[in-house]
Chains A and B, each alone.
Chain A
Amino acid sequence: MSPKKFFFILLGGLSVLILASGSGYYFALGNIKTTSTKLSQQLADQSSASTTLDQLTKLQYQYNHEIKPIIPLIDAALPRTKNQTAILAQLQNLAGSAGLSLTSVAFPSPVGLPTNTSQTVQTGAALALPITFQLQGTYQQLQTFLTSVENLNRFTNVTNLAISRPDKSKPIVYSMTVNAYVKP
C-alpha cells in the first residue's frame, strides 16, 4: 500500500473515530443527565419516605405508650354506643345518692329503627343523646346531684335546667335535660 493511500485511510479512520466519539459523548452525557435526574428524584423520595417513617415511628411510640393505656378511659367517657341503660342507672344512682327523687325520664322518639345510636342528635363532632327528666328535692340536693353529673366518668352536659316551686310546702321540682355523648 502506498503511503498516500495509507494517509487517506488514516484520515478517514480518524474522522470516523472523532464522529463516533462525539456521538458517544452526546449519548453518554444524555444518559448521565437522565440517570442523575432520576437519582435526584429518588433521593427526594427517599428523604420524604425517611421523614414520614421517622414521624410515624415516633407517633406509634407515643400512641403505644401514652394513648393506648387511656383508650379504655376514653371509651368509657365517650362510648361508641349510646349505652342507654348504663347512663339511666348512673343518673338514678346519683339522684338517689344526693337524696333527690327521680320522678320521670324521657328520651326523644327514635327516627327509624332503633340502633346503637338512634335517638341521638349530631352535636359538633359527636352525637348527643338528650335525656329529659324531673327531680324533686332541696336546693342542696340539687347542687350535689349537679356536681356529680358534671364529674361523671362519661361525658354529659346539662343543657337545660328549670327550677320551679309552685307550692312552698312541697319539694322544689327540677326539670333537666342532660346530653349524654356518643362517638361511634
Chain B
Amino acid sequence: MINLLPPNLKEQVRFAKLNRLALRYLRFTVVIIVVLGVIFGGTIFYLNVQANTVSKDVAQKQLDIAATAAFQAQANDISLRLSAIKYIQAQQTHFSTLLNDLAKALPTGVSIDSITLTGSDKTAVKINVTAPSYNQVLAFRDVFAQSPRIAGVDLESIGPAGGGSFQASVVIAFKPGEAK
C-alpha cells in the first residue's frame, strides 16, 4: 500500500503509535511501583510496629527486673553468709572424736599427761604419757603407730616417774586431714 500522506503527517502518525506503546509501559511501571510501594510500605510499617511492641516489652521487663533489686541484695547477702558457713564447716575440728580415737589406742594403764592439739597435720604433736612399766611405754608407741590417724610416732625420752612407773615423751605426726 502506497502511503500518500505528507512526511510531516507520517511522522506524527509514527509518534502517535510510539506514544501508545510508551503509555502502556508507563501504566505498567506505575502498577509495578505501586505494588512494590505497598509491599515495602507494609513491611516497614509492620517492622516498626513490631520494634515498638518489643521495645515496650523490654522496657517493662527491665522495670520488673529492677523491682527485684531488693531481693537480689538479700539473696547476695545470704549467698555470702552461706559461703562463709561453707568455709567454716570445712575448717571445723572434731577434737571430741579425735581424742576418743587417741584414747582407744592407749594401752591399759597408760595415761596422757599432756598433749596440745591444733588441728594441723603439718606440725608434730608432743605427747607426754605415764605408763606402769617400761614395756607398756613401748607397747604404747607400737599401738599408736598402728592407729589409722597416725602417720608416724617417735619416742623422744623414757624415764622413771617413781613408784615403778615410767614417763615417756612421744612425738606424733598425723596423716593428712586426720588431725582435726
Contact = CB atoms under 8 A, between A and B. Distances in A.
Interface on chain A toward B: helix, strand, loop, or mixed SS? helix
Contact of B92 (A3, A18, A71, A157): A157
A103 interface: no
Contacts, number: 172
B44 A31 contact: yes
Interface residues of B, number: 66
Interface residues of A, number: 62
Interface in A92-141: 123-126, 139
A52 interface: yes
A42 B114 contact: no
A139 B94 CA distance: 15
Given A3-B19, A46-B58, A14 B84 contact: no
A163 interface: yes
Nearest to B12: A3
Interface in B92-109: 92-96, 99-100, 103
Nearest to A177: B118
B54 A78 contact: no
Interface of B: 11-13, 15-16, 18-19, 22-23, 25-26, 29-30, 33, 36-37, 40-41, 43-44, 47-48, 50-51, 54-55, 57-58, 61-62, 64-65, 68, 71-72, 74-75, 78, 80-85, 87-89, 91-96, 99-100, 103, 111-119, 130
Given A4-B11, A52-B65, 14 more contacts: A7-B15, A10-B19, A13-B26, A24-B33, A31-B44, A35-B47, A63-B78, A124-B88, A125-B80, A146-B95, A155-B89, A160-B118, A162-B117, A165-B111
Sort A-B residue pairs by CB-CB distance and give the 7 closest, nearest first. Answer: A146-B96, A49-B61, A3-B15, A125-B84, A124-B87, A28-B40, A126-B84
